[in-house]
Amino acid sequence: MKKLLSALLAIVMLCSLAACSPQQNGSSSETSVISQTEAQSAEASSEAAQEEKPQWVDYVEYSLEEDVPVENIILMIGDGMGKNIIRASEIVKGDKLIMNGMAHSTTVTTYSQSVTDGDAEYTDSAASATAISTGVKTLNDYIGVDPDGNDIETICEYAQSLNMKTGLVARQVMCHATPAGMAVHNLSRNNYPKIMLDMVRSDVDVMLGGGSQYYSDYKTIQDAVDEADYKYITTAQELNSVSEEDGKLLGLFAYDNMASAGLTPTLETMTSKALEVLDNEDGFFLMVEGSNIDTCEHKGDMQTTLEQMQGFEQAVDCALAWAQDHPGTLVIVTADHETGGVTLPENPTPEDINDSCFTSGGNHTNSDVALMASGAQSAGLCENELIDNTDIAKYMRSVLAEARK
């Protein structure tokens, strides 16, 4: 079995290196430096990974203070989480999701500039993340740049300008579209090595997710991690032992995507640790992504999609519980777009929630998505019944600026 795993790992590495050839926006080729020891370490890490069975969180309504200045923002993005997958989750759960008990809600449009220009049928996660982060519509595939390719200030860069700490938590590889769109700039979301290098150099305080290949396979990134003085970890056990005294933290807990919702550390565990490390008197911005809701919807797999929803709901519960104990925190839960064209029959039962609910052939759609908000100044974001995803970025900036006058 170990020989088979080693062979498969080698094939994956070769394919990864081939896919990461030089592309646009100054991306340069990297020399793979993976050694036999590192390959064995990656194999051992894979074998040691543990699973926790996802489960629904009991419904509870949290009471967060609203009429206080915004010191911290927790932005939670369910990738591909349309309104109907939220409804489907509640039908299967037999109760409301915690996110639907948040104090305020509205609806968000998600189209990209590519859709507006007629070059695409729907937004991708790169353009949507950029809109949510910068307040500017851009083209599909673009990360942190406008349609002309000019860099735009990301939400992490804005928060850092206010001396706030910043953090990114995801299940996908850390240099994937959504976390990348919060921090860096690139003309192609597929320039993974260059994006990862820029993320390490971006001075984000906490980054937790998948994609250890972008450390183990690239000497330039390893050097940048050392130069930026990150504590680099790869296991749930190491994460558990981290404290705020360790400084900046980079945790990459799978060679690629953390595809299973129960793979440890769970999204809830990563969220909890990020909040612990980021908490400080100057405030913080934290983005948490339920990355693989989208991944499972692309596959038309309802069972695993619901498991991803369970994992995301656990993280939402964690964030709201923390925010209730820390006045001045604004919690926003939304989606970057809808995936799968989830359609439900009239008066659906749990038995009706199955693979046949997916109608888009695994594609994204331009359906509007939900936004829920609680905590400091949360009502203002939901004053209108319909907002655009760019309004999220603009509102986050406005309340942070107001609090620091």
Residue range 93-143, pLDDT digits in tens: 999 999 999 999 999 999 999 999 999 999 999 999 999 999 999 999 999
Residue with tokens 């990355």: 291
Assigned domain for 232 exists? yes
Same domain, 40 and 71: no
Same domain, 69 and 39: no
Same domain, 147 and 12: no
Same domain, 44 and 92: no
Catalytic residue among 89, 105, 125, 212: 125
Same domain, 39 and 174: no
Q: 272 catalytic, yes or no?
A: no
What confidence tens digit (pLDDT) does each residue in 246-284 have? 999 999 999 999 999 999 999 999 999 999 999 999 999
- Asked if 292 and 37 touch (Cβ cutoff 8 Å), the reply is no
Is the predicted pLDDT of residue 178 greater than 80, yes or no? yes
Looking at beta carbons, which pairs linking 49-53 to residues 24 or more positions away fall under 8 Å?
A: 49/253, 49/254, 49/263, 49/264, 50/236, 50/263, 50/264, 51/260, 51/262, 51/263, 51/264, 52/262, 52/264, 52/266, 53/262
Task: Count Cβ atoms within 10 A of the Cβ of residue 95 and give its class: 0-12 exposed, 13-18 middle, 19 or more buried.
Answer: middle
- Asked if 102 and 372 touch (Cβ cutoff 8 Å), the reply is yes
Question: Which has the closest alpha carbon to 269: 240, 290, 242?
Answer: 240
Could you give the number of structural domains in the chain? 2
Same domain, 83 and 204: yes
Is the predicted pLDDT of residue 32 greater than 50, yes or no? no
Is the predicted pLDDT of residue 38 greater than 60, yes or no? no
Q: What is the pTM of this model?
A: 0.89
Q: Which domain holds residue 43?
A: 1-19+35-48
